[in-house]
Each structure stands twice: as structure tokens, then as C-alpha cells.
Amino acid sequence: MRRLNRKKTLNLMKELDAFPKVPESYVETSASGGTVSLIAFTTIAFLTVMEFMVYRDTWMKYEYEVDKDFTSKLRINIDITVAMRCQYVGADVLDLAETMVASADGLIYEPVIFDLSPQQKEWQRMLQLIQSRLQEEHSLQDVIFKSAFKSASTALPPREDNSLQSPDACRIHGHLYVNKVAGNFHITVGKAIPHPRGHAHLAALVSHESYNFSHRIDHLSFGELIPGIINPLDGTEKIASDHNQMFQYFITVVPTKLHTYKISAETHQFSVTERERVINHAAGSHGVSGIFMKYDISSLMVTVTEEHMPFWQFLVRLCGIIGGIFSTTGILHGFGRFVAEIIFCRFRLGSYRSTSVPLPDGDTSNHLPPITDNSTH
């Protein structure tokens, strides 16, 4: 009884076999089939390797939503060198909500030499080259996001030479916390003085001949400080052509949440436009000499997430490659054999055509002469 049930089960499984086996005696191999098979296997191997490389790679996904966080503070990271002595310049931030948000409490004024050393000039040249490439190839920003915390620091390296020159510039670096509203960070002549109706700078004791707002922005960013991220103004250098010159930077800040396989941080991206002009009240160009960075906070927030192809999707694509190559090469091989057989059949039919035989009256006959037996003559 068990054997009978087992035979029925085996017969049922044989009937469900979707891959029937062909006896080897019925299989005919050919050189053309072997060539096509070799090409198919080579193509499958090449595409499999390429697909595996795609599977190993990751990409950045961008999602946009309204930023609903209005209560937290915005951090501004600053590292700017001005070609004036530290006692002559002052930096502070004003916003639309309050008068003076921050003064020099979170900033450090360090006397330095404005001219860079050879190693620092090479660093600045490479940073400016990267900035130019980022403006042309926007997809490079994804590479920078994925390599954050893994790449080398983008900070200005220390001087390698022991210069005996006295400091002629002031490096203002540090960070400030401001409200998440539009504001104005500026560096101008004199220290800032709080005032109930605004603020002022002690600039009366500084002569106009000593004004020199040539500056170099080694770093400027908003939000959490992430090593390896290059911001649009990093490496910027401006040389003033006049003592009374104003440099303006109009910045739009976009809150950004960055989630990669290495880090998870809340930072800010920004775009910037620049303008500079000479202050000349007689010519109608009014204003105050200095460096002004007017920033505005975008109402949209960007979430950047690093994604990876799932393993099941990789298997599906791999099966599609293998099955598609086999099916396509089989169709092409069958079509090629069909065309070749038609051509060869025409040649064979042409070889069986009879040759023309001349007749006594000058005509020709397309029929062969009858075969006769010599023994009858």
C-alpha cells in the first residue's frame, strides 16, 4: 500500500515537472551553438560583476518638509581673518527679533599674519579648486556627505615656518548661538557697544587710513560642526581696493538632517550671493565699511538619507540578467540558423540546375541528353 501511494506521488510530481528532460541521443550540438553559448556566458559574467558593484554602492535620497522647529537656537561657526589689528575691529550679530543677539563673548580674537605660508597657500588653492568643481558638478555633494567624518579635516593647517614678522591681521574664530530668524553677522571698525535702541561701534578713534577689510574666510557654517563637509564660502579670499569698502554676503540657510551609515547629524546647508562696493557718500554710495553677512532661514527642511539596494532586489535583478541573456541569445541563434538555412538551400537548388546543351540547328536545350546503352548500337 505504501509503495502504491509512493508511486502515485512520484507520478504526480513527474506530471508537475515544468523542466522536462530531453534524452542525450536527441540533443544535437553545433559549433555555432557553442560560440553563442560562450558569448552568452561571458556577457552574463560581465553584467553580474557590474550589478554587484551597483549593489555595493549607495545613493543619497532627498526629502523635503516644512521646518516646524522655531524654538531652538542656530549655531554659527566662524573662522575669518581680517587684515586689521584686533583692537581695531569688532564682530557681533543682529537679528529681526532682538537688537543685539551676541557680541564677542563666543568669539576669539587672535593676532596673526595675514599672508599665508607656502603650505597654507597650497591648502587654500586646493580648497578653491574643490569649490569650483562643486559649482559645476552638483552630484559631488553626495560624495562629501557619504565621506563625512572619514575625510581629512578642512581646517586651515598651522604655519610651518617660524616667521619673525609681527602680526598685522586678526583671526576671529569660534561659534555663536542665535535665534532661528533672519539676522546679520558683521565685522566692522571698533568694538560693539550695546544700546537700548540699537548698537554702535567705537570707530571714532580709528583713522580711515588704517581701514583694510581684506579678509579670508577659512570656515563659515551653520548648525552642528561636521568634519569633512565643505561649505560654499570656505577658502574665500577678498582683497580690498579702497579703505572704505563694504563686502556683503547674502546667505539663505536650509536646515538639513543628514543620515548616513556613518553619522546622523543635524546641520545646515546654505547658498550665497556676493556684492562689494566702495563707500563714497559724495557719489551716493552710502553705508558702513566692513564685512556683512546677512542670512535668512528657509522654511523648508531637507532630510538626506543614504540608501542601499536590498538583497532581494539584487537577486531579482540577477535572475533577470541570467534569464534575459539566455532567452535573447536563444532567439538570436534560432533566427540566425533560420536565415543561414534559407541561404544554403538556395545555393543547393542552384547546384542542381541543368546546364544548356547545343542542338544541330543552333538552338539550345536546357534538358540533359537521354542516357543510352552503348551495347545497343
pLDDT in tens, 205-229: 777 778 889 999 999 999 888 877 8
| CA nearest neighbour of 300 among 268, 274, 272 | 268
Residue 31: predicted pLDDT: 74
CB atoms under 10 Å from CB of 250, counted, come to 14
CA distance 130 to 5: 75
Q: Provide, rounded to the nearest whole percent, the portion of the chain with pLDDT above 70.
A: 79
Residues 254-272: pLDDT tens digits? 998 888 887 788 888 898 9
* 23-79 per-position pLDDT tens digit: 766 666 677 777 878 888 888 899 989 989 888 888 888 888 998 887 788 889 999
pLDDT for the residue 217? 93
Digit-coded pLDDT (tens) for 118-129: 888 888 888 888
User: Using only C-alpha atoms, what is the Rg of the chain?
Assistant: 40
User: Kindly report the CA angle at 256 between 298 and 106, in degrees rounded to 5?
Assistant: 85
pLDDT: which is higher, 197 or 264: 264
Residues found in the chain: 377
Distance CA 355, CA 365 (A): 9
Helices (H) and strands (E) in the chain, counts: 5, 17
What the block records as the C-alpha cell of 266 is: 543635524
Classify the C-alpha dihedral 122-142-273-82 as positive or negative.
negative
Pairing label, strands 300-308, 58-66: antiparallel
pLDDT of residue 280: 81
Read off the DSSP letter of residue 50. Answer: H
Q: What is the pLDDT of residues 138-185, one digit of tens each?
A: 667 777 777 665 555 667 778 777 777 788 899 999 988 888 888 889
Residue 19 has pLDDT above 80, yes or no: no
CA dihedral sign, ordered 7, 10, 16, 17: negative
Nearest Cα to 235, choosing from 90, 370, 350, 128? 128
What pTM value is reported for the model?
0.69
